Amino acid sequence: MLKKEKLSYKEILDELNLTEDTLSSLERVMEGKNSSDSENYRNHTNYSNNNEEVAPLEITQKLRESGLNSFEINFLASFSEKLKGILDDVGGINNLVKISPAYKVKQALNVAREELHYLKSHIQKLEKTQEDASKLKNKIFQLQSELGTKNQVINNQEQVIDNKNQIIENQNKQLDDALTLNDQLGEQLNSYKRNKTVVPDYYPGRGKERYYSANERDFELFETRKKNQELLEELQRSEKEFVELKEELEITKGKTTKVVQDVEREYKDKITNLREQIDSAVNKKQKEWDQYYARLCEQHKVELLTLQKRHDEHIVNLKQNIEQREKEFYGSNPVLELFSKVGRKIK
């Protein structure tokens, strides 16, 4: 201790790695002459044009100009080296990233993206169901068109049957007229036969003509009755076909109506179920998001308070450490303690 107190001025400067010019420049800096002293400092310390050598010197000079002493500058340099070592640790950076709010928000966005894909798949199913319903509607329209065509055919057949009925009625009327005329001729023939028992072939008279005429009318009447019977049978067949076709049409209408109702009911049920599923999924995810954001905000608040507390404690410990190092350093170097006191007074 006594040996250190007997050090000369030059030995102190050598121990501090300072020159007289540098010390003078620093004193002028402390007095407020920053620009000229900075230039003198560069001239007296053999300022180099190499950026790698100039940068540390400039940083040191700026720190000295800001009022820091050598111990504080050295302490900051050692602290920056430790901080650089910490930042070089990739695992540590990853751990810091994982606990950061931005990382958690990114993870939440990934979950939201997956939920969006899930909802899109449900919407695609809904669109596919809607497309199937459209195809079924097209089939229904096609069946309705076929039913309309069959109705038109039935109406045409009804018109044909009505026309045939009209023809048969006219023929029945003609047949009744022919029967009436035949009865009249038969009465005339019978009255003639009562008067003339034999009609010779060579006898030219009206009785022979009437006889032949009656036979001819009997044959025509037989042919007319035969034709009328055929028309009646054809009419019965047409009526039977009409009834069968009408029954088939009613059955087809019933089936078509049932198919339409089933399709509409199934389509509505599917749409309702899908909408309920989508609404339920959206409401569920909305609640989960609300709970997650509330929990995340609370967690971030606690983490920020913890980090702030640690930061304050670290600053207090750092200040205490600096003060302790200053006391130890200045206690072992009275001259530096004197310089420090002079600097504080000048400030």
| pLDDT tens digits along 272-327 | 888 888 888 878 888 888 888 788 778 878 888 888 888 888 888 888 888 787 77
pLDDT over threshold 60, residue 198:
no
The whole-angstrom distance between residue 131's C-alpha and the CA centroid of its chain comes to: 17
What class has domain 103-299?
mainly alpha
Q: CA-CA distance, 34 to 310, in Å (whole number)?
A: 37
pLDDT band at residue 2 under the 50/70/90 scheme = very low
Closest CA to 123 of 285, 115, 264: 115
Backbone angles phi, psi at 199, to 5 degrees: -115, 100
What residue ranges do the domains of the chain occupy?
A: 103-299
Residue 152 DSSP SS3: helix
Verdict on whether the full-model pTM lies above 0.75: no
| Number of helices (H), then strands (E), in the chain | 10, 0
Closest CA to 250 of 140, 118, 115, 154: 154
Closest CA to 75 of 342, 319, 346, 333: 319
The pLDDT assigned to 236 comes to 80
CB 185 within 8 A of CB 214: yes
In tens, the pLDDT along 131-140 reads 877 787 787 7
Q: CA-CA distance, 240 to 229, in Å (whole number)?
A: 16
- Residue-level length of the chain: 347
HSE-CB at 102 with a 13 A cutoff on CA atoms is 4
Q: CA-CA distance, 105 to 300, in Å (whole number)?
A: 11
Strand runs (DSSP E) across 97-212, as ranges?
none
Q: What residues contact residue 64 under an 8 Å CB cut-off, 6+ apart?
A: 26, 29, 73
Q: CA-CA distance, 332 to 312, in Å (whole number)?
A: 30
pLDDT over threshold 50, residue 44:
no
CB 288 within 8 A of CB 296: no
In tens, the pLDDT along 148-192 reads 787 787 777 777 777 777 777 777 777 677 667 666 666 665 665
